[in-house]
C-alpha cells in the first residue's frame, strides 16, 4: 500500500488506535508497550500485512528529532530538582563518562569480531551508547517501580541527559568515517562546544521561558501549553544554530521550568504528558515502518552477540568506571547497570549514517535495530524481577511523591486553614505566581467581598482576601503566615 493524502490520516489513526488498545493490555503479559508499538509498525510496513512502503530515513529522522524534543522536554518537566540534586554528580558522570566508556567498549568489541574499521566500530558503539529516555521514562513509570538508594532519580536524570553525549559521539565518528584524513583530536573541540553551549542555552532559555510564561497575558488557559511548545522548539533550534546541543538544552530548560511556579502549570504538565505518549507511539510506529525484517535476519547472530556484550559487559563497565570514586552500595551499581535500556534513540541516530550514505550504513542500522529490540525485550521485562532479587525495591505505599505528582494527580493535603491578607502585606496586588507561596501549601479558594474566587497563577491578591489553603501538615501554616504577613 502506498500512502496518499487520502488514506494517510485513516491509516495513521487506525495504527494509533490499535497501539493504544494493545498497549493497555500488554503489561498483563509482561511485554513493554514500546516493543508492541514497534511490532505494529513492522507488521504494517513493506513486508507486513498492510504492505505500506516507507523507505525514507530523512522523514524518519525528522519525526525522530521532533518526537525526542517532546519526550525529553516532558521528562525534564517531571524531574524534581529536590530528588535529582542529591544524585546530580552521579547522574552527570553516567551521562558523559558512562556513555563514553560504553561506546569505547562496544567499539573495540565490534572491531575485534567484525571486518569494520576502527572508526566504523566506534560509530556503532556511539550510536548505542546512551540509555533511551522514552524507554526508561515509559517502563519505569508504567511499571510504577519504587526504588531505594535514589536509584530512580539517578536513572531518569541519566536517560534524560545522556542523549547529547551519544549524539556528539555519533556525529564525531561519522565525520571521521567520511573524512578519514581527519585526526581523532579534531572532535574534542566539537564535544566541548556542543556540551557547554547546550548547557548554557538550556539554563538561559529556562529563565527566559519562565518570564515569558508568567508575564504574558494570553487570556485563554489552553494557549499556555501551546506557548510552551513554541518555546521548546525555539530553545532546540536556536541552540543548534549557535553550535550547541539542542537535546541537552531542551532537557535543562524543561527541568528548570518544571521546578518553577508557572501559570496554568497543571494544564502544561498534563498536556506534555499526553503528547509525550503520543510521540513515543508515533516514533516507534515510524521506525517499525522503516524496517525491513528480511534485512535484519542475516545480522541476528551478530546483533545478539553485540547486544549481550552491551548488557553484560559494556554497560556495567560504563557504570562502574563512572562510580569509581563514589562510595555506594554494590546492589545500586548492579541495578543501574541492568537498567541500560536502549530503544528508539539509537535507531534514530542510526539514520544519520544512512542519510550520509556510508558503505556499511544498512548493516549498522539493522544491527542497532536488533540491539534496541533485544534490550527492551530482555531488560525491560525484568526490571521488577531484578529489583526484587537485588532487594532495591520499595513497597508502593512508601513510594515518594514529588511536587509535580501533586500537580498532576491533584493529591489532597492533610490540613486546611484560612488566612486573611493584611492591607500592608507585600503580596497585595501581586499575582499568585509571583508571591513565592510555600510548596507545602496550595491556595484552593479565595473569599473576597462575600464571594468565592477560583485562584489561578494569574489571579491578583487583594487586601483582606481570605485565602483557603490546603497544607501538608500543621507546621506548613507557619510558612504561609510568614509570606502573607511580610510587610511591603
Query: Tell me, what CATH number does 461's domain have?
Result: 3.30.70.1450
Show the 3-state SS of the chain. Answer: CCCCHHHHHHHHHHHHHHHHHHHHHHHHHCCCHHHHHHHHHHHHCCCCCCCCCCCCHHHHHHHHHHHHHHHHHHHHHCCCHHHHHHHHHHHHHHHHHHHHHHHHHHHHHHHHHCCCCHHHHHHHHHHCCCCCHHHHHHHHHHHCCCECCCHHHHHHHHHHHCHHHHHHHHHHHHHHHHCCCCCHHHHHHHHHHHHHHHHHHHHHHHHHHHHHHHHCCCCCCCHHHHHHHHHHHHHHHHHHHCCCCHHHHHHHHHHHHHCCCCCCHHHHHHHHHHHHHHHHHHHHHHHHHHCCHHHHHHHHHHHHHHHHHHHHHHHHHHHHHHCCCCCCCHHHHHHHHHCCCCCHHHHHHCHHHHHHCCCCHHHHHHHHHHHHHHHHHHCCCCHHHHHHHCCCECCHHHCCCCHHHHHHHCCCCCEEEEEECCCCECCCCCEHHHCCCCCCEEEEEEEECCEEECCCCCCECCCCCEEEEEECCCCHHHHHHHHHCCEC
Q: Quickly tell me which residue has 523507505 as its cell.
A: 55
- Which of 367, 398, 429 is a domain's end point? 398
Instruction: Give the lowest-confidence range in 219-223, 246-250, 349-353.
Output: 219-223
The residue segments making up the domain with residue 333 are 5-398
Q: Return the exposure string of 130-154: e unless at least 16 CB atoms fall within 10 Å of the residue's CB, then b.
A: bbbbbbbbbbbeebebbbbbbbbbb
Closest Cα to residue 282, out of 28, 5, 44, 31? 44
* pLDDT grade for 113, boundaries at 50, 70 and 90: very high
pLDDT of residue 29: 47
96 and 224 housed in the same domain: yes
CATH code at 137? 1.20.1530.20
Window from 35-49, 97-111, 345-359 with minimum mean pLDDT: 35-49
Amino acid 295: pLDDT: 87
Give the pLDDT confidence score for residue 30 in this predicted structure: 47
Of 354, 374, 398, the one marking the end of a domain is: 398
Q: What is the model's pLDDT at position 2? A: 59
In the predicted model, is pLDDT for residue 62 greater than 90? yes
User: Are residues 352 and 442 located together in one domain of the fold?
Assistant: no
Check residue 408 and give its pLDDT. Answer: 47
Q: CA-to-CA distance for 38 and 422, rounded, in angstroms? A: 59
Please report whether residue 406 resides in a domain.
no
* Same-domain pairing of 450 and 346: no
Residues 420 and 459 both lie in one domain: yes
**Is the pLDDT reported for residue 339 higher than 50?**
yes
266 compared with 135, residue with greater pLDDT: 266
Q: What is the pLDDT of residue 395?
A: 61
Domain total of the chain: 2
Between 8 and 25, where is the model more confident?
8
Which pLDDT score is estimated for 289? 87
Instruction: Check whether residue 418 and residue 387 sit in a common domain.
Output: no
Q: State mean pLDDT over 70-86.
A: 86
Q: What confidence tens digit (pLDDT) does each residue in 143-193 have?
A: 666 777 788 888 888 887 888 889 889 998 999 998 877 777 877 888 889
Identify which of 111-120, 156-165, 397-406 has the greatest average pLDDT.
111-120
Judge if 388 and 440 occupy the same domain: no
Return the higher-pLDDT residue of 27 and 274.
Answer: 274
- Same structural domain for residues 373 and 327? yes
Q: Are residues 374 and 431 both part of a single domain?
A: no
Residue 5 confidence class, pLDDT cut points 50, 70, 90? low
pLDDT band for 63, please (50, 70, 90 cuts). very high
Is the pLDDT at 397 greater than 50, yes or no? no
Supply the pLDDT for residue 126.
Answer: 95
Give the pLDDT of residue 142.
63
Is residue 393 domain-shared with residue 459, that is, in the same domain?
A: no
Please tell me the least confidently modeled range out of 28-42, 371-385, 405-419, 461-475.
Answer: 405-419
Q: For residues 345 and 457, state if they share a domain.
A: no
465 and 321 together in one domain: no
Residue 378 pLDDT > 70, yes or no? Answer: yes
How does the average pLDDT of the chain come out, rounded?
84
Q: Check whether residue 312 and residue 351 sit in a common domain.
A: yes
Residue % of the chain over a pLDDT of 70 = 90
Looking at the domain assignment, is residue 436 inside a domain?
yes
Residue 231 scores a pLDDT above 60: yes
Q: Which of 16-20, 86-90, 144-148 is most confident?
A: 86-90
Give the pLDDT mean for 445-460.
83
Q: How far is CA 105 from the centre of its chain?
A: 25
Which of 398, 430, 450 finishes a domain? 398
The average pLDDT across 43-54 equals: 81
- The pTM assigned to this predicted structure is 0.80
**Closest CA relative to residue 459, chosen from 259, 257, 270, 264:** 264
Q: What is the mean pLDDT of residues 287-305?
A: 90
Amino acid at each position: 500500500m502506498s500512502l496518499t493524502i487520502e488514506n494517510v490520516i485513516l491509516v495513521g489513526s487506525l495504527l494509533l488506535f490499535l497501539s493504544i488498545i494493545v498497549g493497555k493490555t500488554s503489561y498483563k503479559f509482561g511485554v513493554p508497550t514500546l516493543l508492541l508499538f514497534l511490532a505494529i509498525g513492522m507488521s504494517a510496513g513493506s513486508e507486513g500485512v498492510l504492505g505500506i512502503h516507507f523507505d525514507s530515513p530523512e522523514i524518519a529522522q525528522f519525526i525522530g528529532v521532533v518526537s525526542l524534543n517532546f519526550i525529553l522536554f516532558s521528562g525534564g518537566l517531571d524531574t524534581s530538582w529536590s530528588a535529582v540534586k542529591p544524585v546530580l554528580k552521579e547522574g552527570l558522570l553516567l551521562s558523559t563518562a558512562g556513555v563514553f566508556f560504553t561506546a569505547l567498549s562496544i567499539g573495540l568489541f565490534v572491531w575485534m569480531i567484525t571486518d569494520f574499521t576502527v572508526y566504523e566500530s566506534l560509530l556503532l558503539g556511539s550510536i548505542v551508547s546512551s540509555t533511551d529516555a522514552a524507554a526508561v521514562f515509559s517502563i519505569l513509570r508504567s511499571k510504577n517501580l519504587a526504588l531505594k538508594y535514589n536509584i530512580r532519580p539517578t536513572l531518569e536524570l541519566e536517560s534524560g541527559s545522556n542523549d547529547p553525549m551519544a549524539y556528539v559521539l555519533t556525529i564525531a565518528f561519522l565525520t571521521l568515517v567520511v573524512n578519514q584524513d581527519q585526526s581523532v583530536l579534531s572532535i574534542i573541540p566539537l564535544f566541548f562546544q556542543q556540551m557547554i553551549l547546550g548547557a548554557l542555552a538550556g539554563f538561559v532559555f529556562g529563565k527566559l521561558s519562565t518570564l515569558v510564561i508568567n508575564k504574558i497575558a494570553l487570556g485563554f488557559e489552553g494557549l499556555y501549553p501551546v506557548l510552551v511548545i513554541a518555546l521548546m522548539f525555539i530553545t532546540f533550534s536556536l541552540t543548534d544554530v549557535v553550535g550547541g546541543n539542542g537535546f541537552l538544552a531542551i532537557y535543562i530548560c524543561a527541568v528548570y521550568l518544571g521546578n518553577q511556579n508557572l501559570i496554568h502549570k497543571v494544564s502544561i504538565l498534563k498536556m506534555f504528558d499526553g503528547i509525550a505518549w503520543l510521540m513515543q507511539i508515533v516514533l516507534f510506529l515510524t521506525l517499525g515502518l522503516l524496517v525491513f525484517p528480511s534485512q535484519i535476519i542475516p545480522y541476528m547472530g551478530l546483533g545478539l552477540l553485540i547486544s549481550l556484550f552491551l548488557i553484560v559487559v559494556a554497560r556495567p563497565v560504563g557504570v562502574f568506571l563512572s562510580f569509581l570514586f563514589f562510595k555506594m552500595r554494590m546492589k545500586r551499581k548492579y541495578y543501574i547497570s541492568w537498567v541500560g535500556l536502549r530503544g528508539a534513540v539509537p535507531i534514530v541516530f542510526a539514520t544519520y549514517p544512512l542519510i550520509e550514505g556510508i558503505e556499511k550504513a544498512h548493516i549498522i542500522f539493522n544491527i542497532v535495530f536488533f540491539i534496541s529490540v533485544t534490550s527492551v525485550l530482555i531488560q525491560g521485562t525484568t526490571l521488577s524481577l531484578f529489583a526484587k532479587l537485588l532487594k532495591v525495591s520499595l513497597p508502593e505505599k512508601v513510594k515518594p511523591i514529588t511536587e509535580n505528582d501533586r500537580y498532576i494527580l491533584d493529591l489532597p493535603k492533610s490540613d486546611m486553614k484560612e488566612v486573611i491578607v493584611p492591607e500592608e502585606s507585600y503580596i497585595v496586588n501581586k499575582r499568585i505566581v509571583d508571591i513565592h507561596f510555600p510548596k507545602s501549601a496550595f491556595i484552593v479558594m479565595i473569599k473576597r467581598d462575600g464571594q468565592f474566587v477560583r485562584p489561578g497563577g494569574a489571579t491578583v491578591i487583594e487586601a483582606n482576601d481570605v485565602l483557603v489553603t490546603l497544607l501538608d501538615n500543621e507546621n506548613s501554616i507557619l510558612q504561609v503566615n510568614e509570606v502573607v504577613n511580610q510587610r511591603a
